[in-house]
Amino acid sequence: MKFIIGNIIVIVSIIGGYLMAHGKLGILWQPAEVVIIFGAAVGAFITTNPGKVLKATLAGLPKLLSGSPYNKQAYMEVLALMYELFTKARKEGLMSLEPHVEEPESSDLFNKYPSILKDHGAVEFICDYLRMIVGGNMNAMELENLMDAELDNHHHEADAPGAAVVTMGDGMPGFGIVAAVLGVIITMGSIGGSPAELGYHIAAALVGTFLGILLAYGFVGPMGNAMQAMAADEGKYLTCIKQCILATLNGYSPQVAVEFGRKVIDHADRPGFLELEEYVKQPR
């Protein structure tokens, strides 16, 4: 919703200001300029990026409409799941977690939190590391190094689509100039025409520059930055899970282990200590 509202504000501000200056909307409709700018930008985007980045970009664009899912409620749910898993392990032994991490879709604990089950990356992260703890005598330092390496790789992979879109936006003013130059060429070819005809061609050429700059800084660039912000939010969410798992591996109680995770959450999304304590102990 935030993405849609922002774009509407950009459009209303630009068009509204143009109309207030007594501009004519008809002259802004230049399909040829749009084809040149968008076609060249998309072509360069495809040439520059590997297939996995192209697929990730297409998959990430629809998520902008709903916004980041990693809010306060999401953190409270994952901390509650961690608390339940750690409590079970402490009461019944680590081996009691094996059926839950092997088949989380069939786990009664995971099914209490359907929003987490939908996040395949988070579920895989939780299950992989709990499986390693259940299956062997893990060293906390070695496990932390492995987690850090995976999170660093995840950051670069998740950030790539947004960075690619930002780069595409950075190139759009240049393609706008290309469209404008082509418009000038057309104008020069009509040099013997009437002043009205020449004026129209010059205005159409300038629309190319206008569109290139507007698309770059009003739409495509912010869209890429929003995708990067969502990728960063996912990384912070996984870091919260990491801190919980490391804390329980170091022997802390379930309540203290989730507190380790709570402390790395951004203040805007961080639940209070008592608020979280009450939430994780609620029967479900």
Q: How confident is the model at residue 236 (pLDDT cuts 50, 70, 90)?
A: very high
Least confident residue range of 24-33, 158-167, 259-268: 24-33
End-to-end alpha carbon distance in the chain: 31
pLDDT given for residue 281 in this prediction? 84
Who contacts 79 (Cβ-Cβ below 8 Å, separation ≥6)? 240, 244, 258, 261, 262, 271, 276, 279, 280
Cβ 175 vs Cβ 209: under 8 Å = no
CB 119, CB 68: distance < 8 Å: no
Residue 25: pLDDT band with limits 50, 70, 90: confident
Q: What is the pLDDT of residue 190?
A: 75
Contact indicator for 59, 164 with CB cutoff of 8 Å: no
Place of tokens 């070695």: 142
- Reported confidence tier of residue 136, pLDDT bands at 50, 70, 90: confident
CA-only gyration radius of the chain, Å: 26
Q: Which two tokens stand for residue 65?
A: 């409409």
C-alpha dist (Å) from residue 237 to 125, 165, 206, 230, 259: 11, 23, 46, 11, 14
In the 8-state DSSP scheme, what is residue 265?
S
Average pLDDT over every residue of 248-256: 93
- Reduce the DSSP state of residue 230 to 3 states and report it: helix
- Across 44-53, 171-180, 200-209, 243-252, least confident range: 200-209
Alpha carbon of residue 231 to chain centroid: 4
Mean residue pLDDT across the chain:
92
Q: Percent of the chain, pLDDT > 90? A: 75
Helices (H) and strands (E) in the chain, counts: 13, 0
Number of other CB atoms surrounding residue 126 within 10 Å: 25
> In which band, very low, low, confident or very high, does the pLDDT at 256 lie, cut at 50, 70 and 90?
very high
- pTM, entire model: 0.88
21 token code pair: 């200056």
What's the pLDDT at 39? 94
Of 199, 176, 197, 201, the closest CA to residue 187 belongs to 201
Helix (H, G, I), strand (E, B) or coil at 270: coil
**What CA–CA distance (Å, rounded) separates 176 from 198?**
20
pLDDT of residue 5: 92
Average pLDDT, integer, range 192-211: 84
